[in-house]
Amino acid sequence: MKLALWSYEAPAHVGASKASASLSGVHTVLRAPKGDGYATIMLAMFERLGTVPPLSICALTEATLAGAAADIPAHLVDLERRRSPEVIFVTRSGTAAVLQEPLDGEIAMMPPGTVRAEIIEGEMHPIRDTESSAFDVTLRQLVRTWAKDMPKSARPSVNILGPSLLGFHDHANVRSMRVLLGAVGIDVNVVAPLGASKADIARIGAAWANISLAHELTERTTTYLRERFGTPTIQALPYGEAGTTRFLRELCGLLEIDAAVIAEAARASQLMWYARTVDAHALSHKRVGIFGSPTTAAGIARVLAEELDMKIAFVGTYVTERETWLRDRVGDLTDDVFATSDFRDVSARIDRTRPDMMFGSQMERHASSQFGVPCAVISPPVHILNFPLGYQPFVGYDGANHLADLVNTTQVLGLEHHLIEMFGPRNQGQFADAMPERHDDVPVLAGVGAAASSDAPAAASDALVWAPSGESLIARVPFFVRKKARGNIEKYAREFGITTIDERVVISAREHLGG
């Protein structure tokens, strides 16, 4: 088992809980020590439910471990008395599995009729599965359990799969998809698991097609639906204006709907109009790095490259088993497509490539700030601030507008140049002494009296030396942009094989970079 300070994916029981607790009429019971029950707090805080989340913990205690009588039956009886759920979904954490705490034996001891609710024991493996795979295993299990054979709906309809409580902008994404599908005359059969009831899942086979908003969370489920009901899944990703149009063309072609209806629906997007403006021209050829969940990373990479003419430095994901899927989607945009679950690998890549902008999770936002690279959060893991109260979808034509805003507000337009002109050199102007220079915060390189960054390649660090005349010029840059300016100059020096950065190199780099 690999331990890390930060982890992109939560343990398996969180993925299973997200899937089951998102359903209507279902209460999830987690068998675990008290410390493993933080998903309950996340549901209450992040989703702002305003009520007790449909998730509780049957805690392991010293008495339980010492061989006391099983307490799962008592917990289920009390839960039904207090909440009267239609279904109780029971799972356990990795800690409980390590302690060999069984579920089936305790539940089997309960006399028939003790609890009126349907009891389902989760199939996910609490140690082998990840958060993503456990979500998918759980969703497939519930679909397999409840889905009934029935004819296809009279009108063209689709299932929207993947949205959940604690999902990234999932409420807004579902709303955007409903608007989009309504504009072309397609009904929504079931949204699952977010808000779906047992009765909703029962009719999931009536849909003509499936739409996955997160392929890494639904692959097992969509495969099962294809095998049992013959329901195909749309492969195009509905990100950006062009991407959403491709998505609708595939969907309309599959459902035999006249594609002429797409043109009217596309009027909702202003992304392509924005791409032709002077403001968007500043984005052209800017280098960007992207890291996050595979579906979102792939969709946004295509928007940035195809619609905003940006250069993709790298695209990565923390769902390691989806690396091939991601490469198939974006391999034509960049040679650097990778998967890693170690945030330090991503931080080192940002340091090495120094993109103009970064799109990632909260971890990349923190890592990028060290190197003066602006970062937009486009993927979990996230902060509570990434659960907006307003309407901010990422998919569909409405999502294209939000993406344009996100890129526009994240970019830095000639920041070094404009701020230096505004505030003047160091020790001039009212802000000059706002903060003293701290060389220990700046990733200086070998030869200037400080250790090189452990994340930077050793060979590159050893090859660069800052001369006193170069240090004198860089010291005149305002403190709040000095780190980025230093990184850009070092990048320029490496490009042209320069080993000593003096005053002449700093000036040449500034002219080369347009600042």
Give me the helix-helix angle, 215-229 and 131-146, nearest 10°: 30
DSSP 212-223: ES-HHHHHHHHH
Contact 122, 97 (CB under 8 A): no
- Strands ordered across the beta sheet of 209-212: 187-192, 157-161, 209-212
- Tell me whether residue 398 is one of the annotated catalytic residues: no
Query: Of 279, 332, 433, 441, which one is the catalytic site residue?
Result: 279
Gap between the Cα atoms of 66 and 507, Å rounded: 73
Cβ atoms within 10 Å of 267's Cβ, excluding its own = 9
Angle, CA 485 vertex, CA 483 and CA 487 arms, to 5°? 70
Gap between the Cα atoms of 367 and 379, Å rounded: 15
Structure tokens at 97: 């599995």
Contact 126, 94 (CB under 8 A): yes
Write down the residue that tokens 């899942």 correspond to: 201
Contacts of 244 (CB under 8 A, 6+ apart): 180, 238, 266, 269, 395, 396, 397, 399, 400
Structure tokens at 238: 């509905």
- Strands ordered across the beta sheet of 311-317: 337-339, 311-317, 287-292, 357-360, 375-377
SS3 label, residue 376? strand
User: Does the CA dihedral 488-314-445-5 come out positive or negative?
Assistant: positive
- Please write down the HEC assignment for all residues of 442-457: CCCCCCCCCCCCCCCC
Structure tokens at 496: 């042209």
Gap between the Cα atoms of 161 and 147, Å rounded: 14
Gap between the Cα atoms of 56 and 242, Å rounded: 43
Cβ atoms within 10 Å of 279's Cβ, excluding its own = 12
Q: Which residues are catalytic?
A: 279
